[in-house]
Amino acid sequence: MELMVPLYAQDKRPLYEQIYQYIKDEIRGGRLTAGSRLPSTRVLADNLKVSRSTTQMAYEQLLSEGYIEAVPCRGYFVAGIEELVEVKGQETGSFVPEPAGSREQYRVDFSPRGIDLDSFPFNTWRKISKNTLVDDNKEMFAGGDPQGERSLRAAIGSYLHSARGVNVRPEQIIIGAGSEYLWLLLSQILGMNHKIAMENPTYKQAYRVFNGMGYPVAPVEMDRYGMDVAQLEKSGADVAYVMPAHQYPTGIVMPVRRRQELLAWACGGEGRYLIEDDYDSEFRYKGKPIPALQGMDTAGRVIYIGTFSKSIAPAIRVGFLVLPPAMVAVYRQRAGFYASTVSRIDQNILYQFITEGHYERHLNRMRAVYKGKHDALLAGLRELEDRFEIRGEYAGLHVLLTHRGGLDEEELVRRAADLGVKVYGMSGYFIHPEHRCCPSTVLLGYASLTEDDIRLGTGLLREAWRA
């Protein structure tokens, strides 16, 4: 049969997607009935004046979804779709949003985990994504290097060296889908015969992963410089998980002397390592960022981990692990057979985003955006300075408020909630309930809020906490 598909140059969708969608709609609407024969990909390409690979991609998608069938030596035929189950979404085809009322509603939510998605470079990302697929690059759909594409590893290594002072070669880098996967992979490399020390309070997701894998975890108290090295020595741990650039949640920026003490501890025993989580070092508002702990390591005792979740977007799901040189051979022996968990398409997009200068421009723009929000938050909290100590304001995407009079943390959270403001108590970040002995402290994140939201929220907090 002859099939004429309307194609529109002004349509932002690729041609193959227009063809696929038109045929799919014709089948679902009953205008192409079950058993109808479709033109071959060559004939359809000739009729539409497009490349054959374009029609092949459209047919392959229809085949994979069960809308058409390929009969050997005969051609393509419309399948019977009565049994197909349609997964309904919004009219735009996007994911179904969480129903209203399924979670608590607040006028302002000072979540410390959010980022500013309104400033995400959608047009740039869309253009790179389109260019990645436009040439029918079949290699993008084949299995790649288990460590991640070398070109991307080289680009990340170059960025880490120039921006964070990390000493690294591409062979030391492993690309993975987020920190959780990389921690799991690291357990395969290190083995289970270790005890892990963690700053307390800490990033609870890391604790959950290490604890869930079966590692004994030792909470180590902190002083104003970070993890207490004397307490670390007493803990009996031989691996320490630390966040020197901006400890979460306390906001402490670890000074050079404490970093040297940790490195001395790591070198003081066989098989000791430091895991440096550098999750948001890109954002600092006073002075220059202190170089990474890894850059000070001359003995190969620091395992460095980072992601693009804060600097680009959480859904990118691309993280990287930098192993000490001597550990690379161990990785290849014990875990080198694991396939990469990040698609080559996504890796290529990120590679172009970095090497074409978009990442650097995006970071510069976001530093300015977050600095504006940061300043708006501090201005809104100024009237509370007689009642609260404000800390952690020089880096990262959240600040801490400690009540000078010792008003109960739960009471602070409750009063804020009564006026429609969500704040987060520090007590939730301690590893065990019995360790929750810090002064009454709450966290205020500001990245996902507008400056107007911040001004509204801080005004409500002044009212909630005025007594």
- pLDDT for the residue 287: 60
Q: How far is it, in rounded angstroms, from Cα 135 to Cα 345?
A: 13
- pLDDT for the residue 286: 64
Which of these CATH numbers, 3.40.50.300, 3.90.1150.10, 1.10.10.60, 3.90.420.10, describes 108-114+361-464? 3.90.1150.10
The CATH architecture of the domain made up of 1-97 is: Orthogonal Bundle (1.10)
Q: How far is it, in rounded angstroms, from Cα 437 to Cα 276?
A: 26
Q: How far is it, in rounded angstroms, from Cα 201 to Cα 190?
A: 24
State in words which class domain 144-355 has.
Answer: alpha beta
Of 267, 285, 279, nearest to 183 (Cα)? 279
270: left (phi over 0), alpha (psi -120 to 50) or beta: beta
Q: What is the pLDDT of residues 413-429, one digit of tens each?
A: 999 999 999 999 998 89
- pLDDT for the residue 314: 83
Please give the model's pTM, rounded to 2 decimal places. Answer: 0.76
Positions of the chain with pLDDT under 70: 1, 81-104, 135-138, 285-289, 433-438, 467
Residue that the structure tokens 């993890």 belong to: 227
Residues 6+ apart with CB under 8 A from 8: 18
Q: What is the pLDDT of residues 132-191, one digit of tens each?
A: 877 666 677 777 899 999 999 999 999 999 989 999 999 999 999 989 999 999 999 999
Task: Map out the domains of the chain as residue ranges.
Answer: 1-97, 108-114+361-464, 144-355
